[in-house]
Structure 1
Amino acid sequence: MIRVADVLAGLDRFGLAETIYLETGEVRVAVRCDGPMAEELRRHFADALAGEGPVAATVDVLEGQTLDAEPDWVDWAREPGKSGRKDAYYDLEDGRLVRKIRTGMTFLQSPQALVAFGPCLAHPNQVINFINTQILNICKRDGWEICHAAAVTDGVTGLAIAGLSGGGKSTAILRMMDLDTTRFVTNDRLMVRATANGIVGLGIPKNPRINPGTILHNPRLAPMLTEARRQELAAMPPDDLWQLEEKHDLFIGDIYGPDRVQFTMPLTEFWVLNWSRDSAAPTQLRDAVLAERPDLLGAIMKSAGPFYQDADGIFLRDHDPLEPEAYLAQLQTVRLREVTGAIDFDVLARAGEYLFA
């Protein structure tokens, strides 16, 4: 069987001139890369840059390098409701290789080395995701749970918003950012852990990647699109605009100004978007009990994915079930509210104004 050492023997990790240090809460990681990639990563990770010091993980980024020979890749099963091939993996004797099908990016996940290689500069977001995955892995091994949620805080109150993919959590959380007192925590992954002083939330250092509909309906985001593109989008049928996948990187500092990012927060409230574009009912926020609503818990829980290796060295498998009890234990004191009825972001914005008043 192939070992990590065999993979590393075919890669050149000695020409990495730059080391970037990142800090999220109490988690610190280092990234070794070349100059062009370092410039790209410093731009994306601007709010998490830290000084030199001890780290929990080091990631190597190797532009343009490939495997000497392709292994027999196994497709990683997609989540329910999603189709098409996305990830494939190959288990080594002491690690795992993961391949991104659409881009050809390859990743080595192991205790000995963490390496991203392939067309890295062409796909910086996949490198960013791999780096952030190490933060998630470190936290998961330390007892945190991963939520599929966006979040903001004012330092006293912390709000997380979950929903099915495409349900509007990014649009909703950015409406909360229109309040002067809030700070951005995360757009898609929130780590949670119960402590003696309440529930703590921890975000990952990644800027939101948002679709055109989110931009079009928020005047503050208008500079992200040309006037011609805004007119094209405005002329689209609403259903087509809602379904359009055309990701844009939103840099929080560029739109909302400095000091508007905070990765840690007290988690006091969780909203789950269970509304519908087909509903004529008024938009409402209703209190719910998480232990009695497995459907809402299902929208919150998130698999650690093919990169996760537990403290005993065992990799997650795509058919391993999530553990509702673990989430209930961490979230038992949070206020849960279900958002029902028609999709109306103005209603959520007013609820946010009251929450953060």
Structure 2
Amino acid sequence: MICVADVLAGLDRSALPDTLFLETGPVRIAVRCDTLMANELRHHLADALAAEGPVSAVVDVLNGQKLENDPAWIDWAREPGKTGRKDAYHDLEDGRLVRKIRTGMTFLQSRKALLALGPCLEFPNQVINFINTQILNICKRDGWEICHAAAVTDGVKGLAVAGLSGGGKSTTILRMMDLATSRFVTNDRLMVRATEDGVTCLGIPKNPRINPGTIVGNPRLVSLLPETRRQELAQMPTDDLWRLEEKHDLFITDVYGPGRVQFTMPLSEFWVLNWSRRSASPTRLQDANLADRTDLLRAIMKSAGPFYQDTRGRFLRDDDLLCPDDYLAQLKSVRLREVTGTIDFDALALAGRELFS
């Protein structure tokens, strides 16, 4: 079995003149890369940029480099309801290689080195995901749990929203951003940890990547699409528009102004979207006991994925099961509300105004 040193021997890490320092809550990370990559990452990660200082991890971005020889890749099993090949991995003696099937990007996860290589400049979001993975890993090793949720705060209260993929959590959170006092925390990954003072949350430094269904229903966002594309979408059946996967970057500061991003928050309420466009009932928010509702808990729990390496150095397997009790322990003091009935974002916006008033 090859080891990390064998992988590093075939790569050049000497031409990395730029170092970015990122800070999210208690976690600081350094990213070393070339100047073009640094400029791209500064644009995407502007809200997390920090001064030079001690860090918990260092990520090297080797744009354009590749492995000398491809190993025998093993497909990482997708979550229930997901189809197609997304990730593959190859375990080393002291680390793990992960390949992104669609883009050909390759990542080295280990205690000795953290590397992103391949067409990095072409796919900056995958580099950002890898950087954010290190934040998630550090926090999970420290006792936090990863939730599949978006979140927003006014600095005093915090709201997390979970649901099935495409269930409307991004649209909901962005409607909350219409409130003048609100600040964006995260769009898809939220770390939670119970403390003596309540539940603390940590988001990750990544701007939302949203689908056209989220854009066309929000006047503040329509400029993200060219006029010709907006006209095409206007002719699309509603069901098709709801399911359309076509990601667009939304830079929070560009749309909502400076000072509208905050990575930490107290958690006041957790909403789980369990509604349907085909329902004839009005939208309702009902209190629910998470311990009694495993279906709602499944919408919240999120695997750390193929990159996660625990404190003993063991990597996660794709058949490792999440532990519901770990999430219940972190969220037991939080008000949980199930959103049922028809899909009505105006109703949720009203509930959000009531929460943050």
Alpha-carbon distance between aligned partners in 2 of 1:225 and 1:96, rounded to the nearest angstrom? 39
Displacement, 1:227? 1.9
Report the Cα offset of residue 231 of structure 1.
1.5
CA displacement 1:51-108 (0-9 Å, x = unmatched): 0000000000001111111111000000000010000000000000000001000000
5 Å-filtered alignment, 1:242-321, equals: 242-321=242-321
State the match for 1:9 in structure 2. 9
2: CA distance between counterparts of 1:74 and 1:236? Answer: 38
Runs of 4+ in structure 1 over 6 Å off: none
Aligned length: 357
1:91-110 to structure 2, matched below 5 A, reads 91-110=91-110
Amino acid in the other structure paired with 1:189: R
Which residue of 1 is the match for residue 179 of structure 2? 179
CA deviation string 1:271-316 (max 9, x = no partner): 0000011111111000001101000000000000000000000000
Name 2:81's counterpart in structure 1. 81
Pair 1:349-2:322 in alignment? no
* Structure 1 residue 351: Cα displacement: 0.4
CA distance in 1: counterparts of 2:76 and 2:85, whole angstroms: 8
Equivalent position of 1:41 in the other structure: 41
* Letter of the 2:312 counterpart: D
Q: 1:209 & 1:20 partners in 2: Cα distance?
A: 22
SS at match of 1:156: coil
Structure 1 runs not aligned, ≥5 long = none
Aligned residue runs from structure 1 range 195-214, under 5 A? 195-214=195-214
User: Offset of 1:226 from its aligned partner?
Assistant: 1.7
Once residues 124 and 80 of structure 2 are traced to their aligned partners in structure 1, the CA distance between those partners, rounded to angstroms, is 27
Letter in 1 for 2:63: E
Deviations 1:137-162 (A, max 9, x none): 00000000000000000011100000
* Offset of residue 338 of structure 1: 0.1
Corresponding residue of 2:20: 20
Q: Amino acid of the residue matched to residue 50 of structure 2?
A: A
For 1:218-250, what per-residue CA distance to the aligned partner results, in whole angstroms no more than 9, with x for missing partners?
001121112222111111100110111110000
Aligned match of 1:218: 218
Determine the C-alpha separation between the residues in 2 that align with 1:254 and 1:232.
25
Q: CA deviation at 1:350?
A: 0.6
Q: For 1:221-232, list aligned pairs within 5 A.
A: 221-232=221-232
CA distance in 2, matches of 1:7, 1:32: 18
Task: Give the whole-Å Cα distance in 1 for the aligned partners of 2:184 and 2:299.
Answer: 21
Q: Which residue of 2 aligns with 1:70?
A: 70
Partner Cα distance (2:168, 2:315) in 1: 32
1:339 maps to amino acid: V
Q: Deviations over 1:159-194 (max 9, x none)?
A: 000001110100000000011010000000000000
Q: Distance in 2 between matches of 1:89 and 1:22?
A: 27
Query: What SS does the aligned partner of 1:317 have?
Result: coil
Question: How many angstroms does 1:325 deviate by?
Answer: 0.3
Deviations, residues 14-66 of structure 1 (Å, cap 9, x unaligned): 00010000000010000000011000000000000000000000000001111
TM-score when scaled to structure 2?
Answer: 0.99
Is the partner of 1:219 in helix, strand or coil?
coil
Amino acid aligned to 1:310 = D
Q: Which residue of 1 aligns with 2:54?
A: 54
The residue number in structure 2 matching 1:141 is 141
Q: Where does the alignment leave 5 or more consecutive residues of structure 2 unmatched?
A: none
Query: Counterpart of 2:195 in structure 1: which amino acid?
Result: T
**Structure 2 residue aligned with 1:168:** 168
Q: Secondary structure at the match of 1:29?
A: strand
Q: Residue type matched to 1:281 in 2?
A: S
What amino acid is the match of 2:302?
K
Question: Bigger shift: 222-231 or 21-30?
Answer: 222-231
Normalised by the length of structure 1, the TM-score is 0.99
For residues 255-274 of structure 1, what are the alpha-carbon distances to aligned partners after superposition, in whole Å with 9 as ceiling and x for unaligned? 00000000000001000000
Q: In 2, distance between residues paired with 1:236 and 1:68?
A: 46
Percent of residue pairs identical: 78
